[in-house]
C-alpha cells in the first residue's frame, strides 16, 4: 500500500517522538488491527529534509523487499505527503529498553527467550542479504503476551544490501549508534554483516546486567574500552601510537559480571570477537539459541510489570477517553547514528 490513503486512515494517539518524528497508535478501521504510524520530522534545511526523506524511503523499500518473519516488524504500507513520509507498521509494543524497565528482565528464561528471537530476526534479515547497521535496544520492539514476550526488530533506515559471503565491503562508517558500534566500523575499515553480530553481543550484555557495555561519548573512548574489555583490533596508522602498543593483552569481560550461564556467556564473547572474520554469525547464534532454549528447565510464569500497565500490554482497542502513556525518545547527539551522505552507503 503506497497511496496517500495510508496516512488518512491511520491517524491516532501519539505514543512516542524523537529525532525521526512521531509515532502514533491507532487501529485499522477495516480490520481492527493495531497499528503504529511513524511520520518523519520536518528538518531545518532543504538538504536535511532531503536526507530525512531518503532514509525513510530506504526503510520502506527494505520492508517491502524483505519476506515476512515473526521477529521482524510487520509492514503495512507507506506514503508521501509533500516533505513528509509516513510508514505504517503493525503495532509491536514498546522498545526493548522500555520493556526491561517495566518488567525488570533478569530471569535467565526471559533473557534466553528475548535474545533467541533477536537472533532469529537478525538471521532472517542476513539470509536475505540485508545488514541492519543500527541494531540497539531502542530499535527492537517487545510486546508482552500470555506466553511471554514477542520480539520484533524494526527501524531499517540504515539497512543496506550486502553480500552474504562475508567478504568485507567498503561502505560508509557513519552507521551504528556509538555504544553498539563494531570495532571495524570504529576503525573506518571495510565491514560485513557481522557488525550486527557485535551489536547483538552488546545487547546480550545489557539484557543480563541492565547496563550498556560501552557507554562512551566518543570514538576514541570506545576504542580504548574495547581494547581493555575485549581485546585489540587493527587500526589505521593515523591513530595515536599508544593504541598500537599500550594494549597488548586482553582483559575479557568477567563472567561474574553477568548472571549468564557458561553457554550464553561464551556466546556473548564470540559475538564480541574483535576479529570480524571469526566473530559468530547471526545464523550460528540463532541455531545455538534454539538449542539452549530447549535445554532449560520449565520457566516460571511470565513476568508482570513492576509499574502500572504500559504500552507493552496496550489493548488492541483503547476505549474512548483512554489515556495512553507516551514515551519521549531522547537521543544523545554524540551517540546517535548519524545520517550518512557518502555515495557508497
E strand intervals along 33-101: 34-40, 75-81, 84-90, 94-95
H-run or E-run covering 24: strand 21-27
- Local structure of 67: helix, strand or coil: coil
Which residues are within 8 A (CB) of 178 and not within 5 positions of it... i.e. 6 or more apart? 216, 217, 218, 219, 222, 334, 335, 336, 337
- Structure letter (DSSP) for residue 163: -
CA-based radius of gyration for the chain: 20
Picking from 138, 122, 85, the residue whose alpha carbon sits closest to that of residue 279 is 122
Cα–Cα distance, 256 to 145 (Å, whole number): 32
**102 flagged as catalytic:** no
Say if CB 267 and CB 285 are below 8 A apart: yes
Cα–Cα distance, 295 to 297 (Å, whole number): 7
Q: Which of 134, 138, 155, 196 is catalytic?
A: 134
Cell of 171: 561502505
Catalytic positions are: 134
Amino acid at each position: 500500500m503506497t497511496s496517500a490513503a495510508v496516512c488518512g486512515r491511520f491517524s491516532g494517539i501519539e505514543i512516542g517522538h524523537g529525532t525521526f518524528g512521531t509515532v502514533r497508535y491507532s487501529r485499522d478501521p477495516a480490520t481492527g488491527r493495531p497499528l503504529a504510524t511513524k511520520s518523519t520530522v520536518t528538518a531545518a534545511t532543504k538538504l536535511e529534509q532531503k536526507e530525512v526523506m531518503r532514509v525513510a524511503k530506504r526503510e520502506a523499500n527494505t520492508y517491502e523487499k524483505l519476506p515476512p518473519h515473526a521477529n521482524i516488524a510487520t509492514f503495512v504500507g507507506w506514503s508521501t505527503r509533500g516533505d513528509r513520509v509516513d510508514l505504517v507498521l503493525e503495532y509491536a509494543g514498546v522498545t526493548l529498553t522500555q520493556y526491561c524497565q517495566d518488567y525488570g528482565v533478569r530471569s535467565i528464561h526471559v533473557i534466553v527467550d528475548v535474545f533467541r528471537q533477536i537472533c532469529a530476526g537478525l538471521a532472517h534479515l542476513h539470509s536475505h542479504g540485508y545488514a541492519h547497521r543500527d541494531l540497539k535496544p531502542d530499535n527492537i520492539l517487545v510486546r508482552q503476551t500470555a506466553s511471554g514476550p514477542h520480539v520484533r526488530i524494526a527501524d531499517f533506515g540504515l539497512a543496506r544490501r550486502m553480500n552474504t559471503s562475508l567478504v568485507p565491503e567498503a561502505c560508509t562508517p557513519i552507521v551504528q549508534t556509538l555504544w553498539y558500534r563494531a570495532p571495524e566500523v570504529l576503525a573506518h575499515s571495510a565491514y560485513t554483516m557481522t557488525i550486527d553480530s557485535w551489536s547483538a553481543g552488546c545487547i546480550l550484555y545489557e539484557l543480563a546486567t541492565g547496563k550498556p557495555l560501552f557507554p562512551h561519548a566518543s570514538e576514541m573512548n570506545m576504542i580504548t574500552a574495547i581494547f581493555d574489555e575485549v581485546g585489540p583490533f587493527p587500526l589505521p596508522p593515523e591513530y595515536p601510537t599508544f593504541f598500537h602498543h599500550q594494549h597488548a593483552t586482553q582483559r575479557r569481560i568477567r563472567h561474574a559480571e553477568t548472571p549468564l550461564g557458561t553457554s550464553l556467556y561464551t556466546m556473548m564473547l564470540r559475538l564480541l570477537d574483535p576479529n570480524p572474520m571469526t566473530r559468530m554469525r547471526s545464523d550460528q547464534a540463532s541455531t545455538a539459541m534454539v538449542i539452549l532454549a530447549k535445554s532449560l528447565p520449565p520457566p516460571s510464569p511470565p513476568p508482570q510489570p513492576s509499574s502500572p500497565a504500559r504500552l507493552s500490554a496496550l489493548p488492541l482497542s483503547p476505549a474512548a477517553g483512554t489515556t495512553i502513556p507516551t514515551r519521549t525518545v531522547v537521543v544523545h547527539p554524540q551517540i546517535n547514528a548519524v545520517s550518512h551522505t557518502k555515495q557508497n552507503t
